Structure 1
Amino acid sequence: MLVSSLLIGDAFAHAVAEGDKGYIQEITGVNLVAFLYLGAKHMMTGYDHILFLLGVIFFLYRMKDIGIYVSLFAVGHSTTMLAGVYFNIGINSYLIDAIIGLSIVYKALDNMGAYQRWFGIQPNTKAATLIFGFCHGLGLSSKILDYRISPDGLLPNLLAFNVGVELGQLLALGAILIVMGFWRRTPSFLKHAYTANMVVMAAGFLLIGYQLTGYFVS
């Protein structure tokens, strides 16, 4: 991980492409379409968000339940992203991204029924989704603050970016639901669900390791 951190560097931090970084630093004034696109691109390529969403909807079958949980995540994500940038509240990108990795691990363990077996209780899944949504939003706001976005047109641009994030989330969610819909119709779903969540958990631990390594060597 130490060698990888030296090679990958900023890729450990909350993903914003280098080209987008330069654009964010240079742009001034109200640019709604551009920030709408950047928000959607961020969510569609944000593997941390997608892994967490996958964990959240893994055992949700009714669209009503999916809508509730995704809405909670969206509210949390939007609140801290907007407030963090607007009020200049930032957290070290490596540390907050490690917490985001922890959210992936948490949800995978929840899907595997670990908390009932270990502690005899089931945590409030809706509250956890909202709280970790706050963390995901802080991850992005911290990175945007690092890029010193122009205060000229800040609020409209942030709102457009957030709308883009939510549109990207809907597109990512749609793709996940299509794949899950086909998989759930096969006998292998319940047979391999535990293994699939083990893989998701491993990815979460890998993300935590990358972020903490990046933090200590940066």
Structure 2
Amino acid sequence: MKNVFFKPWIGKDYENGGIFGKKVLVLGEAHLCGGCEDCGKVENAEECADFTSSNCIELLLNGHTDNWTPTFRKFERSLAGHETTLDESRKIWNSVAFYNYIQRSMDSSRKSPEWVDFRNSKEAFFEVIENLRPDLIIVWGVTRMWSNMPSDGWTEGEKMTIDSYDVKNGWYTLQDGHRIHAIWVYHPSSGYSWNWWNNVIKEVL
């Protein structure tokens, strides 16, 4: 994947669908770290290529807690439909792939990606989904991530209404015709009711 700076986490059971019985790609927006001048430049990616795995998911699976871990815990509960144990957490994240769309880190929690960041991350995104060939993408964020993701191969889905809420969804079609359903959920960092979103997610899992 020549355009990918932050390689995706791929759970050991992802290929066979794990506990979900289908290949699920969880798509975040961006990493947060101190940043550097070379962040996002693929030719300098070696040091940070495994950041998603080693600095996020592997820490999570080892029971690490930090100010970012509640985001992942809330999301995994919306997959399971109940509060999760560490053992359940490991089964969940080993059943999915996780990837942040933006291929450079944000250096502040209050800093948002710009449209150019989405544009510059487009080729990497398509390399990832061509390589992983998910059946379902669950996207974190219903504003920027809905408005700025690429339209290539995209078809908006039929109306999907849960408890009077219209869930943003659609399909990406790869070059060989493989179709990937995608849904957009609130970003689980705040204002995320995991038990309500479970009602949405269980409709597509």
> Quick one: higher RCO (CA 8 Å, sep 6+), 1 or 2?
1
More strand per residue:
2
More helix per residue:
1
| TM-score under structure 1 length normalisation | 0.28
The structure that has the greater radius of gyration is: 1
| TM-score under structure 2 length normalisation | 0.29
